[in-house]
Structure 1
């Protein structure tokens, strides 16, 4: 890692920005995240990613309220941070702090060693999602490309 300042732009790829994903449960959301990451990098194990996300979730829900969740985990053998942004077709129960169903998900998978970068990114993402108008714009997107552009447009 040469560049220590990670931004959403550095970690989010258009291929990992998905719009209106059908998901019936929190478990299905986690499976989709793992499948998408593995699909993009076949050296990674979707089962491992899924298990790590679920293990982290058991420590406490990553549903931060207002329909938003930021599931995250560390992954052995990963050398860069991977972000996945998804809007869900329908809100799913996520045991969020306000008990609202989640329909906006930003997942972060970071190298096992990453610590401060990981926390910095989580706070950047949480801060962006604190802006209701921003979240509404994301929810209104109808395709991944628009969603990707919207996420980055407002990160400057």
Structure 2
């Protein structure tokens, strides 16, 4: 291993480690994709006063402008990278009503996992997104999350992932 190489931090990241209960929402109301990103930006800032909501929103919005992060099966994975962020963080919400999010399968979104990673964590970013996409491919997983009544139920479900 060269002196500049470092072991991939992504290998040790678990989906459940990205969430705290305060960044989980159940039956969130969003009237548009941008409204959803605003609310997710607020959630992502919870527990981290150094995160500016407008900066978070801009990171998520700029990525969304490249193409929808609606991956199908009612799931969206908005994500972005931020300079100065010490580690990856996430927020998860179920929606009160289905939302047209221009998903790849043209179906509305019912659940959203928003992800922020440090600006210099490209490999980690892709690995976490890949894990999330695999996690949400399971029909049973999606049904369990939609049926959850409390943020603690959802947090526990992700912790077991």
| Aligned counterparts, 1:129-148, within 5 A | 129-148=136-155
Q: TM-score, normalised by structure 2?
A: 0.90
| Aligned counterparts, 1:45-124, within 5 A | 45-124=52-131
Given that residues 8 and 124 in structure 2 are in contact (C-alpha distance below 8 angstroms), is that contact kept between their aligned partners in structure 1? no
Given that residues 18 and 147 in structure 1 are in contact (C-alpha distance below 8 angstroms), is that contact kept between their aligned partners in structure 2? no
Give the number of the structure whose alpha-carbon radius of gyration is greater. Answer: 2
Helix, strand or coil at the partner of 1:40: coil
Given that residues 17 and 85 in structure 1 are in contact (C-alpha distance below 8 angstroms), is that contact kept between their aligned partners in structure 2? yes
CA apart distance, 1:3: 7.6
Q: Which residue of 2 aligns with 1:151?
A: 158
Helix, strand or coil at the partner of 2:120: coil
Gaps of 5+ in 1: none
CA apart distance, 1:151: 2.3
Given that residues 20 and 142 in structure 1 are in contact (C-alpha distance below 8 angstroms), is that contact kept between their aligned partners in structure 2? no
RMSD: 1.5
Relative to structure 1, the CA distance from residue 2 to residue 145 in structure 2 (aligned partners, 3 Å threshold; closer, same or farther) is farther
Q: TM-score, normalised by structure 1?
A: 0.93
Inter-partner Cα distance in structure 2 for 1:46 and 1:108: 14
Inter-partner Cα distance in structure 1 for 2:149 and 2:31: 19
Q: Which residue of 2 aligns with 1:20?
A: 27
